[in-house]
Chain A
Amino acid sequence: MTDTTDEIETDESAEIEEPAPPPGVPITVNGEVFYAAPGRNLIDACEDAGVYVPRFCYHPRMTPVGMCRMCLIEVDTGRGPALTPSCMLTVSDGMVVETETEAVKKAQDGVLELLLINHPLDCPVCDKGGECPLQDQTMSYGPGESRFVEEKRHFEKPIPISDTVYLDRERCILCDRCTRFAAEVAGDPLIHFMGRGNQTEVNTFPDDPFSSYFSGNTVQICPVGALTAKPYRFKARPWDLSEVASTYPNAMGDRITIQSSRNEVLRYLGVDSDAVNWGWLTDRDRFSFEATMSEQRLTAPLMRGDGLGNVDDGGDELVATTWAVALQRLVTALEDADNNAGPESVAVLGGAQLTNEGQYAWARFAKGVIGTDSIDAQMGDGLPADIVASMPRTTISQACAKGGTIVLLSGDPKEELGSLYLRLRHAVVHDGATLIELTPNETGLTKHAAHSVRVRPGEVASVAAALVTGTGGDELAAASAAITGADSVSVICGRTSLADNASLTVDAINTFASLDTVRFLPALRRSNVHGAIDLGLTPGMLPGRTSLDAARAAFTAAWGSVPAKAGRDTAGILADAAAGKIAVLFLLGADPLADFPDPELAKAALDGAGLVISIDPFVNESAAYGADIVMPAAAFGEVDGSHTNLEGRITPLRQKVTPPGTARPDWMIAAELAMRLGKDMGFASVADITNEIAAVSPMHANADAAAIDAASDGVLVSGGPAWTDQGAPTPAPAYDRYSFRLVVDRTMYDGGTQTTMCPSIAELSKPGAVRISSTEASKLGVRDGAIVRISSQRASVEGPVVIDDRVASGIAAVAHNHVGLDIRSLIDMNELVTDVRIETV
């Protein structure tokens, strides 16, 4: 496409009068000539030409199979017209296509009659009724009545094929979409055709459910009501739903529509965005509307009080109050803090869950209004913000280009960033990309990796250096050649383990950055963390990926003032709070007790801080433990704004329902507080903030409210300081082979709010365990499920063993935030790595 555009531009600049010939080759569709790219699928080319060919099995993101025969049309490629499935033909020069002849109509009518003979006409009670391709196409192309007088085929209905998906085999028309999705897209071939002829059915293997993280996509692409999702079954009829296009707030920025009825969100559907998620969603994200609609949502501000519900600073209970009382208490505390210890005694933790606008409002409130720079959206589990801001970026589509080279230097994308996993998997499996994996344990992509290198925690920088310089010996020679020989390399970088110091990953990134061919995709996973970094919700930085010092003048002009010196990051803020130096601590959707790698420090911080304010849709663990004020925040689906994904792509995020009770959007709370402090920020609407971002941040200049609304794939922003060499890497710590090196990784279904507040998927979260390989287990003499004691120099905990051969030898892996085993007390954040001993008890 780019080439063609260039050609046309060249022609114009040369002032040639004749228009350039249209791109592609001529084809005749129903008597009219169109130009289409040779090789383009004919069914798509017809649609480009404005002629819709009915179809059931064809799906643009999957290999055509030509099974349903609905798209039969007459095509003449020089040997006379012949009935051909249009999804199986590609455009060739001079093709003559007829889609409305008698023969075509008869074939389509015939196929529909055949599809309907066994299809139960239970449309009035079918979830799909009203948005059903079979219903719609029967109305448009079908016979209108059936001549089938026999009894229809019967199956037990419906049967659960996974925890979230039900299958009604009577309704199934065997289009192979779900089974193809499972095998081709998700790589979880757990559903398949069984039986033959008219008794063919889709089913799982016995006792082996369709337990895919992506199973919900099959419900969305099913062309009939055969697959239904447990969270949506019988909840609504399509004609009662209204919808709005939005962006799911994960780090990928998956495009979705939010559908609701009577102010209740009932369904998220993936939207096919070329740039991002191709229409796919993980089940965790797809069904997370249950959390938004949870009855445990906060509906009014809470303050400490007595058992009778009276507000009382010394009380143990959280009791309901009004915004006016809560805000006044807070404003007084902020004024006192300013008067006593200065603005540095105020700190803000969190903010990654906010919209760009919420983040900007809070960054301005903290830095411009209060004057503190101690604000950090990351919870010590990400990468330093200046590193993320300055790494040369690539896009998902560039990283996943045909024949590209990808280095995976992050946690398992299948567990952390599901839709990125699907894009990477597609690139490697179907588009010939070369994947080089540098991870401690096997990931969901290992079996597709050209070079899967097991890197012991602590050694990633030395392995990266060996790869880049080609000094890794025979073992790394091939992987090294693949990296150094490629024209462009995309490095997916993030933390492989919370038990390692982030500096190790930074060293590895620094090594790769020495190659001109390398571009990065930061795989930080927490919702809008990339927006938080870009909009200055991080110490030492201001909106626009710029440092406090570099943009001091510009922001002093825009905001009135900025903090005099850089503040502290989350670990520093918590340490200060524990030392009694923080008078007011905001938890902006943050839950340090659950998420910060050092829970003892988090607890001490909550104890030591003066006033703790939690602004969150729920009362989280930290709020319950130590918040003095809890303010109910509006959740996703209840706020307007925009979102920044890991590429720097800004897409709109839209309000569909009203927040429960008196919950408010985060930006509004910041605006209100500023006003009450006598320093009005002048925000009356979300668009005001969006446009102010575009005005004050040069990298956001093309991302004003109108531009974000107009762009189909969002506005890609880029910029930030040039990469600076980070110096020599920290030497790898010595490895003692009597110990296990600890890896703390993440899973799709952890103990986070998004899982636990969704009844449909909460049970999918497995209890915590320490995973070791079968070899290590036999060395220790423990069986699967045995209880062991895991000890580091700092502490020891007990928990069950799970034998998992994806874990490398010498490594003990524990998933973060799972009920039953909290490993974090073993980690000393000042150490590079954590070594543990495992003993039977």
Chain B
Amino acid sequence: MPFEKVVTRRFDNLEAHKIDTYVATGGYASLRKALDTTPEAVHNEVKAASVLGRGGAGFPAGVKWGFCPPGVWPRYLVVNGDESEPGTYKDRQLLERDPHQVIEGCLLACYAVGLTQCFLYIRGEMAHAQERVAAALNEAYEAGYVGKNILGTDFSVDIVLHWGAGAYIVGEETALIESLEGNRGMPRLKPPFFPAAVGLYGQPTIVNNVETLANLPWIVEHGAEAYTAMGAENSKGTRVFAVSGHVNNPGVFEVEFGTTTFRDIIEGSDYAGGVRDGKKLKAFIPGGASAPWFFEEHLDLPLEKTAVDQAGSMLGSGAIVVMDQDTDMVKACHNLVRFFARESCGKCTPCREGTTWLERILSRIIAGHGRPSDLSLLTEVCENISPGIAWPPKQTTICPLGPSAVSPIASSIERFRNEFEDYITLSDRRVIPVGAA
């Protein structure tokens, strides 16, 4: 089905990061258009477009904006550009290739919700994105798109660029707010459930993902109707996926949301081009490292929120990681769990102690020192982090990082239990292999 690219429409233009190119290709027209209407009109347009948040939870952005308590000022926009989920790199591309589109999206959101200041938080490791956004902000300030009395109107907004210091957990919105405030990046306790009520510096704060905001200029330009004409019932518009792993053509692809299937994006010649070297697919992660794994029987599921949720996983941050037939599932599982153990912030007990314990059990199994009881032990430690190991996960932790480490273990043990058992029973445990930890 033909569709119009929304957020990656300038990706072919390698000069799109410059303001002249951006303006020449229709940039900042949406801002001018919006400033001619009321903030309510812009807000209603976005609400009507039912843009689902692209950060992972998939919460409708227009609805989220409505949570700001009326009459409380100042209120802030925080852009979550701390994209650190393994396999996810769509926001980085959006920031590097078309930074003005994100800036324009920020301005539209600020105008619509009456946000007084915007903080653009970019992951510490994304140096190129930081440079591009910094340059773009300078251009935009100079051209009068950002700052005081934007385009001669009463509308004024400052955008502050903030670089992270390198912590995955800061992608969690309350941890990001803590980090912005100059504190250690650790998630806040709930309630309050939404930063929209109490957020940055205790004020109402909207936290939006980069891609979510990048959609706004197109929506304002073309209208909600054009946007909702694309996509499926519960997943409107387009969506960007980053495909990586054992595929012929890894990369970032914008697809029509809800109608394209996993098979299309993994095997399609316009997209990832199939499993590399003609091998068979063994498993794939549909939505970032925290998501439970999918297998070949899930390939024909559409990239659609409800369908994927019902099948027991999530589209999450839009990262599809493909594993071919030769993948060692115990090591793959260990790789992911090690990531979460290292990135745990250390705030709450189950995540701090539990993820590391899981990682050490897996290390031990891989080193040839596994015990038959280890598989049930792994499951029980997982239970202490995420009671019931169900999907969507319950948690004894403050934030979802702990349960994220449970997903790969639950998926791999359920499907590939024999591989774990082979590691445990076939190893000669009387001899410590050379180089084992």
Within the complex, which residue of A66, A106, A197 is in contact with B387, where a contact is CB–CB below 8 Å?
A106
Question: How many whole Å from B423's CB to the nearest CB in chain A?
Answer: 16
Chain B residues numbered 389-420 whose CB sits less than 8 Å from any CB in chain A: 394, 396-398
Contacts of B354 in A (CB 8 A): 114
User: Chain B contact residues (Cβ within 8 angstroms of A): what range?
Assistant: 35 or more
Within the complex, which residue of A72, A113, A196 is in contact with B345, where a contact is CB–CB below 8 Å?
A196
Contact assessment for A65 and B189 in the assembled complex, using a CB-CB cutoff below 8 Å: yes
Check A198/B394 contact, CB under 8 A, given A103-B387, A107-B387, A192-B184: no
Contact assessment for B189 and A69 in the assembled complex, using a CB-CB cutoff below 8 Å: no
Question: How many whole Å from A155's CB to the nearest CB in chain B?
Answer: 14
Contact assessment for A173 and B387 in the assembled complex, using a CB-CB cutoff below 8 Å: no
A68 and B348 CA atoms in complex are apart in Å by 6
Chain A residues numbered 63-99 whose CB sits less than 8 Å from any CB in chain B: 64-70, 72, 83, 85, 88
Contact assessment for A110 and B350 in the assembled complex, using a CB-CB cutoff below 8 Å: yes
Contacts of B387 in A (CB 8 A): 83, 103, 106-107
A686 and B90 CA atoms in complex are apart in Å by 80
Chain A residues numbered 136-181 whose CB sits less than 8 Å from any CB in chain B: 147-150, 173-174
Closest chain A residue to B394 by CB distance?
A83
Residue A117 interfacial (CB < 8 Å) = yes
Question: How many whole Å from B373's CB to the nearest CB in chain A?
Answer: 8
Check A196/B350 contact, CB under 8 A, given A69-B397, A88-B189: no
A150 and B358 CA atoms in complex are apart in Å by 11
Contact assessment for A197 and B396 in the assembled complex, using a CB-CB cutoff below 8 Å: no
Contact assessment for B344 and A67 in the assembled complex, using a CB-CB cutoff below 8 Å: no
- A65, A106, A198, most chain B CB atoms within 10 A: A198
A94 and B355 CA atoms in complex are apart in Å by 36
Closest chain B residue to A56 by CB distance?
B349
Residue B280 interfacial (CB < 8 Å) = no
Residue A471 interfacial (CB < 8 Å) = no
Closest chain A residue to B168 by CB distance?
A196
Residue B228 interfacial (CB < 8 Å) = no
A68 and B387 CA atoms in complex are apart in Å by 17
Within the complex, which residue of B191, B350, B352, B384 is in contact with A174, where a contact is CB–CB below 8 Å?
B352
Can you list, as one digit per residue, whether each of A309-330 has a CB less than 8 Å from chain B (1) or not (0)? Answer: 0000000000000000000000
A576 and B281 CA atoms in complex are apart in Å by 104
Contact assessment for B346 and A111 in the assembled complex, using a CB-CB cutoff below 8 Å: no
Contact assessment for A198 and B396 in the assembled complex, using a CB-CB cutoff below 8 Å: no
A117 and B358 CA atoms in complex are apart in Å by 12
Question: How many whole Å from B405's CB to the nearest CB in chain A?
Answer: 11
Residue B383 interfacial (CB < 8 Å) = yes
Closest chain A residue to B371 by CB distance?
A149
Within the complex, which residue of B377, B396, B398 is in contact with A111, where a contact is CB–CB below 8 Å?
B396
A197 and B350 CA atoms in complex are apart in Å by 11
Question: How many whole Å from A120's CB to the nearest CB in chain B?
Answer: 14
A218 and B356 CA atoms in complex are apart in Å by 28
Closest chain A residue to B357 by CB distance?
A117
Contact assessment for A197 and B346 in the assembled complex, using a CB-CB cutoff below 8 Å: yes
Question: How many whole Å from B191's CB to the nearest CB in chain A?
Answer: 8
Contact assessment for B352 and A198 in the assembled complex, using a CB-CB cutoff below 8 Å: yes
Contact assessment for A114 and B357 in the assembled complex, using a CB-CB cutoff below 8 Å: yes
Residue B341 interfacial (CB < 8 Å) = yes
Contact assessment for B352 and A197 in the assembled complex, using a CB-CB cutoff below 8 Å: yes
Contacts of B396 in A (CB 8 A): 69, 72, 83, 107, 110-111
Closest chain A residue to B363 by CB distance?
A150
Contact assessment for B349 and A197 in the assembled complex, using a CB-CB cutoff below 8 Å: no
Within the complex, which residue of B353, B397, B398 is in contact with A115, where a contact is CB–CB below 8 Å?
B353
Residue A10 interfacial (CB < 8 Å) = no
Question: How many whole Å from A189's CB to the nearest CB in chain B?
Answer: 11
Can you list, as one digit per residue, whether each of B360-380 has a CB less than 8 Å from chain A (1) or not (0)? Answer: 110010000001010001000
A-B contact count (CB 8 A): 98
Contact assessment for A200 and B349 in the assembled complex, using a CB-CB cutoff below 8 Å: no
- A70, A103, A173, A200, most chain B CB atoms within 10 A: A200
Contact assessment for B346 and A113 in the assembled complex, using a CB-CB cutoff below 8 Å: no
Residue A118 interfacial (CB < 8 Å) = yes
Within the complex, which residue of A69, A148, A192, A195 is in contact with B349, where a contact is CB–CB below 8 Å?
A69
Residue A234 interfacial (CB < 8 Å) = no
Question: How many whole Å from A67's CB to the nearest CB in chain B?
Answer: 5
Within the complex, which residue of B345, B353, B377 is in contact with A114, where a contact is CB–CB below 8 Å?
B353
Within the complex, which residue of B345, B361, B383, B398 is in contact with A110, where a contact is CB–CB below 8 Å?
B383
Contacts of B190 in A (CB 8 A): 88
Contact assessment for A193 and B184 in the assembled complex, using a CB-CB cutoff below 8 Å: yes
Contact assessment for A197 and B356 in the assembled complex, using a CB-CB cutoff below 8 Å: yes
Residue B167 interfacial (CB < 8 Å) = yes
Question: How many whole Å from A702's CB to the nearest CB in chain B?
Answer: 45
Question: How many whole Å from B409's CB to the nearest CB in chain A?
Answer: 16
Question: How many whole Å from A388's CB to the nearest CB in chain B?
Answer: 42
Check A174/B189 contact, CB under 8 A, given A66-B398, A110-B383: no
Within the complex, which residue of B189, B345, B360, B384 is in contact with A197, where a contact is CB–CB below 8 Å?
B345
Contacts of B421 in A (CB 8 A): none
Contact assessment for B344 and A198 in the assembled complex, using a CB-CB cutoff below 8 Å: yes
Question: How many whole Å from A322's CB to the nearest CB in chain B?
Answer: 63
A174 and B186 CA atoms in complex are apart in Å by 13
Contacts of A192 in B (CB 8 A): 184
Check A200/B346 contact, CB under 8 A, given A107-B384, A113-B384, A150-B360: yes
A550 and B238 CA atoms in complex are apart in Å by 92
Closest chain B residue to A112 by CB distance?
B349
A69 and B345 CA atoms in complex are apart in Å by 15
Residue B148 interfacial (CB < 8 Å) = no
Contacts of B361 in A (CB 8 A): 150
Closest chain A residue to B344 by CB distance?
A197
Contact assessment for B348 and A198 in the assembled complex, using a CB-CB cutoff below 8 Å: no
Contact assessment for B345 and A198 in the assembled complex, using a CB-CB cutoff below 8 Å: no
A196 and B341 CA atoms in complex are apart in Å by 9
A107 and B190 CA atoms in complex are apart in Å by 19
Residue B342 interfacial (CB < 8 Å) = yes
Contact assessment for B346 and A174 in the assembled complex, using a CB-CB cutoff below 8 Å: yes
Residue B347 interfacial (CB < 8 Å) = yes
Closest chain B residue to A193 by CB distance?
B184
Contact assessment for A114 and B343 in the assembled complex, using a CB-CB cutoff below 8 Å: no
Contact assessment for B353 and A69 in the assembled complex, using a CB-CB cutoff below 8 Å: no
Contacts of B384 in A (CB 8 A): 106-107, 110-111, 113-114
Chain B residues numbered 329-352 whose CB sits less than 8 Å from any CB in chain A: 341-350, 352
A746 and B220 CA atoms in complex are apart in Å by 67
A65 and B183 CA atoms in complex are apart in Å by 15
Question: How many whole Å from A133's CB to the nearest CB in chain B?
Answer: 14
Contacts of B357 in A (CB 8 A): 114, 117, 148, 150
Contact assessment for B346 and A193 in the assembled complex, using a CB-CB cutoff below 8 Å: yes
Check A111/B349 contact, CB under 8 A, given A66-B398, A88-B189, A197-B344: yes
Closest chain A residue to B341 by CB distance?
A197
Can you list, as one digit per residue, whether each of A117-130 has a CB less than 8 Å from chain B (1) or not (0)? Answer: 11000000000000
A110 and B394 CA atoms in complex are apart in Å by 15
Contact assessment for A147 and B346 in the assembled complex, using a CB-CB cutoff below 8 Å: no
Chain A residues numbered 170-225 whose CB sits less than 8 Å from any CB in chain B: 173-174, 192-193, 195-200
29 A-B pairs within 8 Å (CB atoms) are namely: A67-B349, A69-B349, A69-B350, A69-B397, A70-B349, A83-B387, A85-B189, A106-B384, A107-B387, A110-B350, A110-B396, A111-B350, A114-B349, A117-B357, A147-B373, A147-B377, A148-B357, A149-B371, A150-B360, A150-B364, A174-B349, A174-B352, A196-B167, A196-B169, A196-B342, A197-B341, A197-B344, A200-B345, A200-B346
Ranked 8 nearest A-B pairs via Cβ: A200-B346, A110-B384, A198-B356, A114-B353, A197-B344, A66-B189, A150-B360, A69-B349
Q: Which residues of B contact A (CB under 8 A)?
A: 167, 169, 184, 186, 189-191, 341-350, 352-357, 360-361, 364, 371, 373, 377, 383-384, 387, 394, 396-398
Known: A110-B396, A113-B384, A200-B346. 18 other contacts (CB 8 A): A66-B189, A67-B347, A67-B348, A68-B348, A68-B349, A85-B189, A88-B190, A110-B350, A111-B396, A114-B357, A149-B364, A174-B347, A174-B352, A193-B186, A196-B343, A196-B345, A197-B346, A197-B352
Q: Which residues of A contact B (CB under 8 A)?
A: 64-70, 72, 83, 85, 88, 103, 106-107, 110-111, 113-115, 117-118, 147-150, 173-174, 192-193, 195-200
